[in-house]
Structure 1
Amino acid sequence: MSLKSICTLLAIASAVAPAVVSASGAPSTPQPSALLDTMHTELNRAMDSLGKGDQQPHPYFISYEVADASSLNLVAQYGAIVTTSQGHRRVADVQVRIGSPALDNTHGDHRTSALTTINLPLTDDKEAIARSLWFATNRGYGKALDGYLKVKTETQVRAKEEDASPDFSVEKPTDSEAKAVAPLTADVEAWKTRLREISASFKPYKNIFFNYVALTASSETDYFTSSEGTRIANPYTTARLVVVARARADDGMDLFRVETFEADALDHLPDQKAVLEKLTALAKNLEALRTAPVTQPFNGPAILSGRASAVFFHEVLGHRLEGQRQRGDEEGQTFTKSLGKPILPDFLSVVDDPTIAALHGIPLNGHYSYDDEGQPAQRVELIQDGVLKTFLMSRLPIASVSTSNGHGRAQTGRMPAGRQGNLIVSSTKSVNDAELRKMLIEEAKKQGKPYGLFFEDISSGFAVTTRRSPQAFQVIPLVVYRVYVDGRPDELVRGVSIVGTPQAALNRILATGDRQEIFNGECGAESGSVPVSAVAPAMLVSEIETQRQAQGTTRPPILPPPGMDEEVK
């Protein structure tokens, strides 16, 4: 199966997913000692008992990870609240490995044989928690036995692998038990009033036929313990406001705009005035897009704004620097053999640093203190002056890197893999916006093009990294302008999709802007959906290829919105 990695500016699905509500209707205050102590005791009992006396192999590694979260979800449409939920959940991932770090039940296509997921009691009932973990561990041990048998059989009949690295790295245990975060508190009625006003702000725009406003907030403490001796309690809080508006052009093309507001707590989200000002500009732009001309396929110079550039680097480069993509018969391994070699222009450097919580006063989605394998988050220098230095590593080794660098990440219920956190691009060849625009026009003239393109805002993208498919990427812009070389005003266009192949695209960067901008979003890949950030300056590329997006055939709404009938002529 080919692997796609799809990233979006918002996680709408998670924003509206119903939370598990406790019987009392309110979460209890988590007690790290009770929950973590029970996890630790039951894990040690399992390690001491499994595989003894029944001639079955003894597990060499077991870990328990528990996400204990209280949450709030509110959704408004057309000026009214349509979804409201508050809840408390505890979910445990139990990982069991049989064999040895050199070869175990997770080898090759059997990664998921190590993992079992189960809901835990919401109260600190030690006996009930222990019973739940016992049940999940027994089930996980059975899965691991079956997986290990298949792995041993396959290693005898398959050809030698290109990368014979171990299946698990040896790491030092970590002990960091922070105080659990308090349950989420919020003035729910006040937030309902705000969301109703935000959603109602689109009513004057008759061509915006759909709007969606979602508020999500959570207070979560993640607990991790392993048979190696790691013991972690890691608290954090998040808040996000997502606004989506949709319209449709007369020719049937669907158009949408998205605005997201991120913070580490509800009280730190922007005030209502700032939100409404941004949404007014968004609505006017969406109305203008309806009548903008549809662009034709283009191959020429372009500027990507900082946000567009950030998505570009996340998709085109970041995914190909994730460790697991450097091994396996299915992976394209674009840069596997490029360590110590230039893969970017020498004025560009790239790091991934999940230890940074905010940049320029803006919270970063990809921040975390410990990854989902209990490893401390680390700043990783990926590319220095254009030269590739290393990869983003989980505890799955590769030929060139044998240990984790704190990037083993996963959604609850998935096996961790090397993933991006905060990908940050810096440049030593930067100019101001006016100079960058001047360079764009000069490059277009040199190529005999009537215009260059300016990509102002981006929605999403995907990257294909498997060798059975073309090593390609696609990025979906939302706001694109033609910048004419003859001095005509910039022209808004629609229906643009950026496509290309990574090595060609990365080597066409000519210069960058002098201000970094931030993309916050969710990224989905084999280890599930994880929060990410990408930070980059605007960049000028000598050549970028675009194609037309799907046209669509459905007409805009025939019946005008309620209250606007008098405007119909």
Structure 2
Amino acid sequence: MAVACTAILLVAPNLRAQQSAPLPPLLDVMTSELNRAMGSLGKQPDKTGKQIAPYFISYSVADASSMTIRAQYGALVDSSDEHSRVLDVQVRVGDPTLDNTHGTHRGSAVNTLQLPLADDRHALASSLWLATNAGYGTALDNYLRVKTEAEVRAKEEDNSGDFSKESPQVHIGNPASTPVVDKTVWEDRVRALSKIFREFPDVNANIVALAAQSETEYYTSSEGSRLATPHQQARLIVFAVTRANDGMDLFRAQTFEAPTVDALPAQPELEVAIRDLGKSLEALRKAPVTEPFNGPAMLSGRAAAVFFHEVLGHRLEGQRQRGDEEGQTFTKSVNQPVLPSFLSVSDDPTRTKFGSTWLSGSYDYDDEGQKSRRVDLIQDGVLKTFLMSRFPITGFGNSNGHGRAQVGRVPNGRQGNLIVTSTHSVPEPELRKMLIEEAKKQGKPYGLYFEDISSGFAVTTRNSPQAFSVIPLVVYRVYVDGRPDELVRGVSIVGTPLAAMKRIVATSDKSEVFNGECGAESGSIPVSAVAPAMLLTELETQKQPQGTDRVPILPNPSVIAASHTQLAGKGN
């Protein structure tokens, strides 16, 4: 991580006896109040006359300082600072084999509350007390429902428990410092970057946003875990929209990420990137609309990284292998080939960089207090394991440090830094030649080259087809007769994961990085994916929705301003 952490102890079941330095004030209050709750709750009978004590409680606090600067059309629309402390309390009653979070009640395990910003012991303790009482009450109600449901429902396919037993972790790092940002300088920089879009009158909307955050995550549990882990992140986001004459809306987005604002690219590099983005939008709105296609395709490294994250990564998350509603694409495929034998896939949140590029999916401890670790998911094409939180599944009863969640959500097995490697790689120009040869072999006039992909979604539930849809931003037809590549618009990649993945036949010898935010049941979290460019013998695409809105009727003010400038120049 960007901020160095100094560990005091590791795996300390008796913190008070072994701790060699005082806890940070907030973590000390959290620990004291948690111990008091564990010693007191359940001593009084509930409404049924039974005494039900919690077997597990955890407190997690995100103490975050952030700064945001946003501009559009060359002017600032926001410049603000924020400091917040948000508490998640998790209370479990029953026992790890069956507790109040079972089945459809899993999402109710967390109770969230805003905490005071000052280290006022009484104010903090009172807030913790209030949230714990609310969480305990909810846990009791749900536990009674769970037991009733267990008596009347059919036997579940996977009868694994609801919570795994793990070793407690203790790691006290220095609190993250407040982001150091020269706001005057960065307001000017963001404003100037947004102003570049005035050179592109067909760009109807744009936003340039700088977000810098320093966060210390405090975690304590009744098992003995005590954690204080800092994290810093800076992100510059560029987003712009245009509309083609036929009503199709088109957008381009680009992000630049680093641990701090000082590590972001210099202004000249950002200016070049934004002009390229503007030119790309102008070219896209004039490009022909795609036709449905099923044939050979080549994904750039960045596009392949997004593709693997969406199509494969989500299906390797542990909780997707369990539950009546989950499609369980790979549940029965452990120790069986799911990819070509030259491909391997790991997820390594301990890795902070790939080459010189920072990986935003890195972290030291997950959101259940478990040490992050590299997990080799697929080796030489063979599936070996899944991304595990503390939610067990058949054959995999423990966490591997991938329990992740946004504040206010229950952690699930999620991706961190998904890394794809290949033993069958060729230089990228050679891969392009292979694309053309494959198109000729199939009698196709062209193959498709996907330069950039924005996002997508993966359907993993059982009541829907096990399919995916990925939205490319920049797609070219690569003609077999030597004609120049042709940019097309309105492309959507569709298909089923098992079929798509097994049609990869070669990769390039250079990998690229995708950094972004991923949203799922446990909320939005930062992720990274790394992959080389890939050649597929077959990929199916369809048209995106056309759109029916007209292009703007009034001329863009940028056009009027440019005309006046030109007239003034002629007058001189």
TM-score normalised to structure 2 length? 0.93
Is 1:320–2:311 an aligned residue pair? no
Separation in structure 2 between the aligned mates of residue 163 and residue 544 of structure 1, nearest angstrom: 34
| Structure 1 segments unaligned to the other structure (5+ residues) | 1-30
Is 1:538–2:529 an aligned residue pair? no
Identify the match of residue 473 of structure 1 among 468, 477, 484. Answer: 468
Separation in structure 1 between the aligned mates of residue 23 and residue 123 of structure 2, nearest angstrom: 16
* Structural mapping, 1:442-481, within 5 Å: 442-481=437-476
Q: Secondary structure at the match of 2:369?
A: coil
Is 1:47–2:38 an aligned residue pair? yes
What residue number does 2:411 align with? 416
Q: Secondary structure at the match of 1:36?
A: helix
Identity percentage of aligned residues = 67
Residue pair 2:60, 2:220 contacting (<8 A) in 1 also = yes
* Structural mapping, 1:513-552, within 5 Å: 513-552=508-547
Q: Which string of whole-angstrom CA distances, capped at 9 and with x for unpartnered residues, describes residues 220-249 of structure 1?
A: 100000000000000011000000111111
Is 1:35–2:30 an aligned residue pair? no
Instruction: Give 1:33 deviation, angstroms.
Output: 1.5
Q: Secondary structure at the match of 1:41?
A: helix
Q: Which string of whole-angstrom CA distances, capped at 9 and with x for unpartnered residues, describes residues 159-196 of structure 1?
A: 00000001000000001011111222211111100011
What residue number does 1:253 align with? 248
Separation in structure 1 between the aligned mates of residue 487 and residue 276 of structure 2, nearest angstrom: 15
Separation in structure 2 between the aligned mates of residue 163 and residue 563 of structure 1, nearest angstrom: 61
Q: Which of 1 and 2 has higher RCO (CA within 8 Å, sep 6+)? A: 1
Is 1:70–2:99 an aligned residue pair? no
Separation in structure 1 between the aligned mates of residue 308 and residue 136 of structure 2, nearest angstrom: 40
Instruction: Give 1:470 deviation, angstroms.
Output: 0.4
Letter in 2 for 1:236: H
Is 1:121–2:116 an aligned residue pair? yes
Identify the match of residue 267 of structure 1 among 242, 248, 262. Answer: 262
Instruction: Give 1:82 deviation, angstroms.
Output: 0.4
Q: Tell me: CA distance 1:470–1:563, structure 2 relative to 1, closer, same or farther (3 Å).
A: closer
Q: Secondary structure at the match of 2:233?
A: strand
Residue pair 1:454, 1:480 contacting (<8 A) in 2 also = yes
What residue number does 2:162 align with? 167
| Structure 2 segments unaligned to the other structure (5+ residues) | 1-21, 565-572
What residue number does 2:218 align with? 223
* Structural mapping, 1:271-282, within 5 Å: 271-282=266-277
Instruction: Give 1:257 deviation, angstroms.
Output: 0.8
Runs (4+) of structure 1 exceeding 3 A deviation are: 565-568
What residue number does 2:198 align with? 203
Separation in structure 1 between the aligned mates of residue 416 and residue 116 of structure 2, nearest angstrom: 31
Q: Secondary structure at the match of 2:304?
A: helix
Q: Secondary structure at the match of 1:202?
A: helix
Q: Which string of whole-angstrom CA distances, capped at 9 and with x for unpartnered residues, describes residues 127-165 of structure 1?
A: 100000000000000000011000000000000000000
Separation in structure 2 between the aligned mates of residue 564 and residue 406 of structure 1, nearest angstrom: 54
Q: Secondary structure at the match of 2:186?
A: helix
Separation in structure 2 between the aligned mates of residue 455 and residue 567 of structure 1, nearest angstrom: 37
Separation in structure 2 between the aligned mates of residue 114 and residue 96 of structure 1, nearest angstrom: 6
* Structural mapping, 1:343-382, within 5 Å: 343-382=338-377
Letter in 2 for 1:49: S
Separation in structure 2 between the aligned mates of residue 114 and residue 243 of structure 1, nearest angstrom: 37
Separation in structure 2 between the aligned mates of residue 490 and residue 547 of structure 1, nearest angstrom: 19
Letter in 2 for 1:505: A
Identify the match of residue 430 of structure 1 among 425, 434, 437. Answer: 425
Letter in 2 for 1:472: A
Is 1:287–2:278 an aligned residue pair? no
Residue pair 1:344, 1:507 contacting (<8 A) in 2 also = yes
Instruction: Give 1:567 deviation, angstroms.
Output: 5.4
Give the number of equivalent residue pairs.
538
Residue pair 1:32, 1:180 contacting (<8 A) in 2 also = no
Is 1:147–2:151 an aligned residue pair? no
Separation in structure 2 between the aligned mates of residue 266 and residue 563 of structure 1, nearest angstrom: 30
What residue number does 1:501 align with? 496
Residue pair 2:198, 2:558 contacting (<8 A) in 1 also = no
Q: Secondary structure at the match of 1:203?
A: helix
Residue pair 1:32, 1:179 contacting (<8 A) in 2 also = no
Letter in 1 for 2:327: G
* Structural mapping, 1:74-85, within 5 Å: 74-85=69-80
Instruction: Give 1:53 deviation, angstroms.
Output: 3.5
What residue number does 1:337 align with? 332
Instruction: Give 1:32 deviation, angstroms.
Output: 5.6
Residue pair 1:349, 1:425 contacting (<8 A) in 2 also = yes
Identify the match of residue 153 of structure 2 among 154, 158, 165. Answer: 158
Separation in structure 2 between the aligned mates of residue 64 and residue 556 of structure 1, nearest angstrom: 52
Q: Secondary structure at the match of 1:121?
A: coil
Q: Which string of whole-angstrom CA distances, capped at 9 and with x for unpartnered residues, describes residues 31-68 of structure 1?
A: 96210000000000000000013233000000000000
Instruction: Give 1:113 deviation, angstroms.
Output: 2.6
Instruction: Give 1:558 deviation, angstroms.
Output: 1.8
Residue pair 2:319, 2:413 contacting (<8 A) in 1 also = yes
Q: Secondary structure at the match of 1:454?
A: strand
Separation in structure 2 between the aligned mates of residue 567 and residue 506 of structure 1, nearest angstrom: 52
Identify the match of residue 57 of structure 1 among 12, 27, 52. Answer: 52
TM-score normalised to structure 1 length? 0.94
Instruction: Give 1:478 deviation, angstroms.
Output: 0.4
Letter in 2 for 1:58: A
Q: Which string of whole-angstrom CA distances, capped at 9 and with x for unpartnered residues, describes residues 376-405 of structure 1?
A: 001000000000000000000000100000
Instruction: Give 1:285 deviation, angstroms.
Output: 1.1
Separation in structure 1 between the aligned mates of residue 177 and residue 539 of structure 2, nearest angstrom: 49
